[in-house]
Amino acid sequence: MKGRIQIQHVTPSVDCGRYAAKAVVGDRVAVSADVFREGHDQVAAAVRFRGPHDRAWREEPLALDHDDRWSGEFAVDAVGAWRYAVCGWTDHYASWLDGLVKKHAAGRTGLAIEFEEGAQLLQRRKGAKSFRQVLTETAALLRSDAGEAEKVAAAAAPELRALLERHPDKRDLAQSAELPLWVDREAARFGAWYELFPRSEGAQLAQGGTSARGGTFADAAKRLPAIAEMGFDIVYLPPIHPIGRTHRKGPNNTLAPGPGDPGVPWAIGSADGGHTAVHPDLGTIDDFDDFVAEAARHGLEVALDYAIQCSPDHPWVAEHPEWFRHRADGSIAYAENPPKEYQDIHPIDFDTADRDGLWNELKAVLEFWIGHGINIFRVDNPHTKALPFWEWVIAEIKREHPEVLFLAEAFTRPKMMQTLAKLGFSQSYTYFAWRNSKHELTEYLTELMTMADWFRPNFWPNTPDILTEYLVTGGRPAFKIRLLLAALLSPSYGIYSGYELCENTPLRAGSEEYLDSEKYQYRPRDWDRPDSLAPWIARVNRIRADHPALHQLRTLWFHHIGNEQLLCFSKVAPGRTDAVLVVVNLDPRQAQEGTTWLDLWQLGLEHGGPFEAHDLMTDTTYIWHGPQNYVRLDPGTEPAHVLRLRAL
């Protein structure tokens, strides 16, 4: 950009264009920039963009907001890599017209030279014959004996201005650097996940509760209708590969497993195969294909765990010992996160001399499962693997399979989590599980919204590794509260199976580990228990699906309410076609009450009259007036109002 037009601070831009911003098919991507030049001449601006199948640039105009800031938007209609840039130019006609109007308004006469200058500007413009004809007629009027007021009115006619804007004169065009944008399918931003261990479905336990036989893919497929009925979109499976026997862990992470104990799924690999094999107890690869097909028949997509680690029995350990770190005594190091030890797992050494061989093999694993219908991968602990590998492998996979999504399971330092998102991960786990108070939630969500152009959160109130004190001590109301917050604050959220049964017994007091964790043993459940939250969860997921306002994070807005145990927030769909207001009691033990102070303008209710607040959870309708409204919520019955707002 070497011309007279200055273009600065283009957004969205991730690290000055080093990484791609993110969007979803159907979005209108908001773009803004500072565009200006010296002097009093006026400028015009536009955003240029092109998608993965475009041969030429498309363009949409930008409008001046204030203080030289221009903004606009463009629609994205295909998955893949996009590029965009902001361009600006001097609007010579608008500059001339601005001076003419000011002179005429001040009572100046004798403006013949000014009118001639305008006529020359019009005649200089190029375009179709019909366009030039209009300009020629206007130029002739400016040179005629018509009155000056008539000439000014003709020069400033809205129809003429609109025509000129559609055919701009860009003789001094300047353009910003091109910026990258990656456009995903809708599941990258919005979806409800359900984590399922197939081996626990249909499992049978011997007398005394010891392990006997695990479930199969066919058994797990019988669970799919119930998961779909609850309104989930994605079934996530922990590793389904053969499990090593060396240093196999027993119940509750003991080092003395019994002969029937199944081991930890993340200890991948045995004589039966590695990352491209399925555990023989679960079935065959054909049985897995049948499971994926059955899930699709119920409207569910299967996500698979991608864990880059091996048991000591994995074929790679013998075939490629150079891919692992060796200790001083020559032994291969096992995984550690002191004081935790994982003797049944060998981490991969990304400093291996055979980098190309390792990287290509890890890429081939993804391609294998993509070939079996998997287009979503939940990546285990990506923050412990080489960052250049992730940037390379995600780009390589998306080049051939742009529909594939990656969820980063990284609970680590914020900058590392953010960098993984920049490198290409479609979604990210977050600290949501440990944000409980109004202040913590408000502060954390506000932070996430500042990263909405490239960091997509996925809120999980629990996982096989995370059983928070809030769930342990809060009982059934706590499970409702945390699911509501996860499902309504974030467009993507998930739960680990057993959540609907309010499983919350820790290994010991103060521990976030489950007692008799499913990571180490089979865990058959009675899904037909009358106290199951399944029907209630189904209602929440129906509300999410039915209300576009809940499909995005950007429009989240926190409203004041006079009680620190009550959280009040809203989301509004683009164009204000849908507005949902949520008031949640954060206290799982007792009723809380307070008075809202709503920002009505944010909700599209500026008229100030009465409005309908229909509770989507209880099917109750209230008539509210103005910003102040009394609320009382008892967690023993319904801990939240989820209100669809409509002006009366």
Active site residues: 380, 409
DSSP state for residue 623 in the 8-state scheme: E
- Residue 622 has phi, psi (to 5 degrees) of -115, 150
Q: Give the pairing type, strands 28-36 and 69-75.
A: antiparallel
What is the C-alpha separation between 75 and 26, in angstroms, rounded? 7
Report in angstroms the alpha-carbon separations of 311 from 126, 265, 308, 324, 330.
Answer: 71, 10, 11, 11, 17
What is the C-alpha separation between 485 and 640, in angstroms, rounded? 10
What is the C-alpha separation between 417 and 410, in angstroms, rounded? 6
What is the C-alpha separation between 576 and 574, in angstroms, rounded? 5
What is the C-alpha separation between 538 and 521, in angstroms, rounded? 28
Q: What is the DSSP string of 244-282?
A: --TT--BGGGBS---TT----TTSB-BTTBSTT---TTT
What is the C-alpha separation between 80 and 23, in angstroms, rounded? 10
Peptide bond between residue 12 and the one before it cis (omega within 30 degrees of 0): yes
The answer to whether 32 touches 25, Cβ cutoff 8 Å, is no
Residues contacting 535, CB < 8 A, separation 6+: none
Task: Give the residue among 210, 213, 214, 209 at the shortest CA–CA distance from 199.
Answer: 214
80 burial via Cβ count (<10 Å: 0-12, 13-18, 19+): middle
Task: Give the residue among 596, 590, 584 at the shortest CA–CA distance from 630.
Answer: 596
The kind and range of the H/E element at 302 are strand 301-306
What is the C-alpha separation between 164 and 27, in angstroms, rounded? 28
Task: Give the residue among 154, 132, 156 at the shortest CA–CA distance from 142.
Answer: 154
Residues contacting 199, CB < 8 A, separation 6+: 214, 215, 262, 265, 279, 281, 282, 522
What's the half-sphere exposure (Cβ side, CA atoms, 13 Å) at 601? 0
What is the C-alpha separation between 135 and 101, in angstroms, rounded? 19
The answer to whether 300 touches 235, Cβ cutoff 8 Å, is yes
